[in-house]
Amino acid sequence: MERDREGNFLHEKSLSEIEAALSNGEVLGDYTVWSPKEKRFVPFVWTISAGNETVNNTLAPNCFMCHSSVIGSQNPYAPSSTFNMPLLSYRLATFKLRYFSGAGTLSSGIATLNPDNTFNYNLAFDADNATAGLQVDGSFIVHSNDMHCSQCHGGGWDDFDGDGRITKLDFLLQVKDLRYLQPDGLKEAKVWFFNETITDGNYVSSKVDGSLIPVPRNVDVHRWARYVGDGNVKGCVDCHAPVKHDYIGTGYFPDVPSLIPSHDFAKGNAGPAFTVRWHQLAGSASCESCHENPVGLHSRAFGPAAAEHLEKVACTTCHIPKKYFFEAKLMDWTLPMFVVSGDSNGYTFLGLTKNVYVGGDSVNGTPVDVALFPIRDFSTGEVVWKLSAANAMGVLFFADNSEGTFRPVIPRYLAKVFGLSYDLPTRYIIEEVDSSGKPVRVGSFGHLVLKVKSGVISQDSDLAAGGWRLINALPNFIDVDQDGAFTPGVDVQITDDTGLDGSPDGVPEVNTQREVSAALSTVKKVVSGAVGRDVEVKLIATAIPFGVSHNVRPAPEALRCDDCHGGRESELQGAVFTRKVNLYFPFDPAVENSTAFVPKVQRTLTEYAFADWTRREIESMGFPAAILDYSTVKVEVDGEVIATRAQTEEAASALGVSAGDLIAAVAVAPSDNPFKVLFEIKEPLSDYGVKVVNGTVTSKVVSGNRLEVQVAPASGRSVVVGLVKEVAGSGSSAGVSSGGGGCSFSPSGPAGLLSYLPAAVALALLRRRRRLSG
């Protein structure tokens, strides 16, 4: 919330600069807020009044989010004592009060907020009354646990309304209520916790007493004491514990002999597939971290083919064969949901939110999708492609080229294109309110009372009787004449023609030729008017495969040979590969055949085809580049290749080139051994050269878009190697420039660069292996 897309601090810009940029159609990141009073998007004010002072209102990391012992009964903003909810106060500060700089204090549980944005500190937590100020001790600051993790990543995917079932309404209650809304709510980490009273009809043997026990539908065996035994129950921090410093390099305290946790948590390494920043994955949580000798463990199932299977198939593919929860199956930005507030007479528009098609069967379970993901083994640095469990989520959006390339149309333009008429059918959500208009909360979780409806809002009996208010609705017409109201014969009604399964489902969608044509032309009119020039608008259909790695099922429920092979050992004819995936609803043939429609992925395809599409899509983005966007860099030492990449201002400065001319760079740790650097980019390398600091290029081989450079390092000195765009007349011989020095290694020079360059992460592994091998 501090920088624009070019990395400039927004609080250093004047409000007039930001307003001028917004007026010109520029997007400075997502750093604007909707003003209900002014009925427009406005820049965020980066200062706030606290008492008699004006303070910088930016957000800093908050230790208490993971280390506070305060639970709900001690936190006045928490829903109940069963929740450890500093996050609730955190959200109150950030979302409702927009008091970013106070969020850490408020969420700690140490203090409550006064009306003038000052704090009242709870002296009951003071461990030293003789010293001024508030000191806390080990009774307040604790080791992180699952309750801390669940504030953002799950904990509460449960039977909220207490009807003995997990339904779509339970899902909705948790993604629409600020108390429980999670960043991962639309993915799969949300369901790490489970309700053991709701079972799937299967039975397994208990490790505690040997009895047969029913399997909970949302179970993850790592958390199920009766299945794995009390001593083997695991939680979030067991797999995602911070990486030790010798694993990520010299560490933050290189002069301290003992290992200190880095707070760089071990992360999942399989999704979302297109945006994994490989250089940031200092450690990676994997099944093999705990389950040693996986080949031996699977020899009984696969025989001599065990090793081959494990080389190509991720553990989760077989061991999460079904999901007993709901998930996002289509993110439809061609018709985003209005965030509104109103009754049967009218509404106030508050903004836009995601329109999500939810799929899944919590009773019978839903088979997982499969995708081919690149997975890095951080013990060796090797990157391999594996078939992995995934959630295939379709994505629809309009894109315009107002910024020189096609990007998603931003919400404030969409808000002008679509309208909501109370007299036309739509899908909408209402919530129960008390006599003062405050939302009613019921049950042990303190959840909202919601109803999801399809129909005409002006005919809604609940809204007409009072006690309910409208909170969300899908637009139901395209405002062609831009007058804010539905004009018959001019504006175009958005109707319910089909759903993901091909039949009407009560949800309007923009999919007929008339609807799509009207939407494209109106989006074009709105965006062109805002930016002052004609733009082109397209409808994009694509998908995102989210990796699924939680809720591992008991071993007896794992996939069997026929599930993949279909009875033929050498072929993949089983249901895992042949069943169909629906990624978005059908469009009129005239739409699908038009140049304005860009289907990056087929609407319906087999699981095998989707898996292969995932691989090709990732490869098209530059994989195995460390940031998956332009180039690939590999460093080869003693015949061993480590995939890595870096492109930073620090590298450009060290090499003496402009950041705009630096295509890719790598920092190589001190060594006496020559090494190879292999560059691959998406175009021929004839216009590019190499610059080296503290080393000499001894050979260079160019082949199309691949460049192999042999480098002799200066003894005992770190080397920086960069691929640069050649400047005409630079005199660089054969596109190569090198030097044995030119920049001393000091904390502010290239040595300091090593602490910034992502490449240092991978190369630290080389240093570590050499230490271990003597």
pLDDT tens per residue across span 313-351: 999 999 999 988 888 899 999 999 999 998 888 889 988
Dist. CA 474–CA 494, nearest whole Å: 10
**Neighbour-count burial of 230, counting CB atoms closer than 10 A to its CB (0-12 exposed, 13-18 middle, 19+ buried):** exposed
Strand partners, 695: 713, 739
pLDDT, residue 180, reads: 65
First to last CA, the chain: 46
Pairing mode, if any, of strands 199-205 and 441-442?
Answer: unpaired
pLDDT bin (cut points 50, 70, 90) of residue 197 is: confident
Enter the pTM of the model.
Answer: 0.70
pLDDT, residue 666, reads: 78
- The residue-averaged pLDDT of 97-124 equals 82
pLDDT reading at 425 higher than 70: yes
pLDDT tens per residue across span 681-709: 655 666 678 889 888 999 888 877 678 88
Q: What is the largest CA-CA distance in the chain?
A: 83
**Residue 699 CB neighbour total at 10 angstroms:** 12
228, 207 in Cβ contact below 8 A?
yes
Gyration radius from the chain CA atoms: 28
DSSP string, 39-65: TEEEEPP-EEEETTEEEE------THH
pLDDT, residue 272, reads: 47
pLDDT tens per residue across span 762-773: 332 232 223 223
pLDDT bin (cut points 50, 70, 90) of residue 154 is: low
pLDDT, residue 401, reads: 92
User: Which position has the higher pLDDT, 197 or 204?
Assistant: 204
pLDDT reading at 757 higher than 60: no
User: Which position has the higher pLDDT, 32 or 540?
Assistant: 540
User: Which position has the higher pLDDT, 512 or 301?
Assistant: 512
Pairing mode, if any, of strands 369-377 and 337-342?
Answer: unpaired
* Range from 144-148, 186-190, 264-268, 318-322 that averages highest in pLDDT: 318-322
User: Which position has the higher pLDDT, 235 or 383?
Assistant: 235
Six-digit token string for 236? 């979030």
pLDDT reading at 639 higher than 80: no
Q: Where is average pLDDT lowest: 125-134, 246-255, 398-407, 706-715? A: 246-255
Q: Where is average pLDDT lowest: 199-208, 378-387, 501-510? A: 378-387
CA distances to 92, 331, 442, 461 from 433, in Å: 20, 29, 11, 15
E strand segments, 638-765: 640-644, 662-668, 675-680, 688-693, 695-703, 706-713, 719-725
Which residues, 6 or more positions from 771, have their beta carbon under 8 angstroms from its beta carbon? none
Query: What residues does each domain of the chain span?
Result: 46-142, 632-772
User: Which position has the higher pLDDT, 610 or 97?
Assistant: 610
pLDDT tens per residue across span 29-76: 655 666 767 776 677 777 888 888 888 887 766 777 778 877 544 444
CA distances to 171, 364, 608, 632, 635 from 165, in Å: 11, 12, 33, 49, 54
Helix or strand run (H / E) with residue 199: strand 199-205
Average pLDDT, the chain: 77
Return the closest-CA partner of residue 428 out of 340, 331, 354: 340
The fraction of the chain above a pLDDT of 70, given in percent, is 72
428, 355 in Cβ contact below 8 A?
no
pLDDT reading at 84 higher than 60: no
pLDDT reading at 740 higher than 60: no
pLDDT, residue 617, reads: 82
Q: Where is average pLDDT lowest: 443-447, 488-492, 652-656? A: 443-447
Question: How far is CA 124 from its chain centroid?
Answer: 39
Q: Where is average pLDDT lowest: 276-280, 463-467, 710-714? A: 276-280
CA distances to 652, 668, 722, 758 from 750, in Å: 10, 11, 13, 13
